[in-house]
Amino acid sequence: MNVRIEEGWKQALASEWEAPYFEQLTGFVSERYRQATIYPPGNRIFAAFDACPFDKVKVVILGQDPYHGPGQANGLCFSVNPGIAMPPSLINIFKEIHDDTGSPMPADGDLSRWAAQGVLLLNATLTVEAHQAGSHQGKGWETFTDHAIEALSRNRENLVFILWGSYAKSKSSLIDHHPTRPRYRHTVDFSGTTTSRSPTTTLPATGSSLLYGNNTTVTTTLHAFAVKHYMSELKNALCVAL
């Protein structure tokens, strides 16, 4: 199957394109686009991958499924195009950033500027019916995006995985499963509360909590080895301009 997706991702996920589940998934999605209003637009289904090539990923932020209101979903989790009102989840993210750093609310909710800096903004489900949250869950997208997370975990080094909310946290078992050498799990739970304004995480005995701020703040768990040897790279990865 010839899937239009960024070449690095196309190679990394090569085994998916001919898999029976993916054939069934694409058949289902194609039929639903013909019969109903589906978000995002068809040419934006793989926008998260196209905007953040496989070998450029530094940070992974996981969402659940696309926004289901008119004009909202643009293929990047939590993101909306300029001119579209920010959904509550995105407003909460920017409020947390403001509370931690003092940075003003941005003029729009377009997170493509994050993707351009190496942040993969990935929903677990890549399509949704208009006004029907979760309507394309259980159709095969979760298998596909799980395999994308596993491909990053296997083939890339020193990535930061930010898991906001219980659904995203359930994906932590997919991370850090390298067969021959230790890896470092980086997960963050977005608190979204006024009493705990920074993202929080449970630290392992050998971990450190690093707070990076420029125009954004992210807290992540890092093994002491990663702190010593990859401080500069991770700091650059996490100082994402709003």
For residue range 54-112, list pLDDT tens digits in order.
999 988 999 999 999 999 999 999 999 999 999 998 998 888 888 877 888 899 999 99
Peptide bond into 53 cis (omega under 30): no
Decide if 65 is catalytic.
Answer: yes
Separate counts of helices (H) and strands (E) for the chain: 8, 7
> Active site residue: 50, 55, 65, 110, which one?
65
82-97: burial string, b at 16+ Cβ within 10 Å, e else: eebebbebbebbbebb
111 phi, psi to nearest 5 deg: -95, 15
Decide: pTM greater than 0.85: no
The residue whose two tokens read 């997370």 is: 149
**What average pLDDT does the chain have?**
77
Q: What is the pLDDT of residue 223?
A: 31
Q: What is the number of alpha carbons within 13 Å of residue 59 lying toward its C-beta?
A: 25
Instruction: Give the CA diameter of the chain.
Output: 54
Q: What is the pLDDT of residue 115?
A: 95
Q: How far apart are CA 178 and CA 152, in angstroms?
A: 10
Structure tokens at 220: 């992540």
What whole-number percentage of the chain has pLDDT above 70?
72
133: enclosing H helix or E strand: none
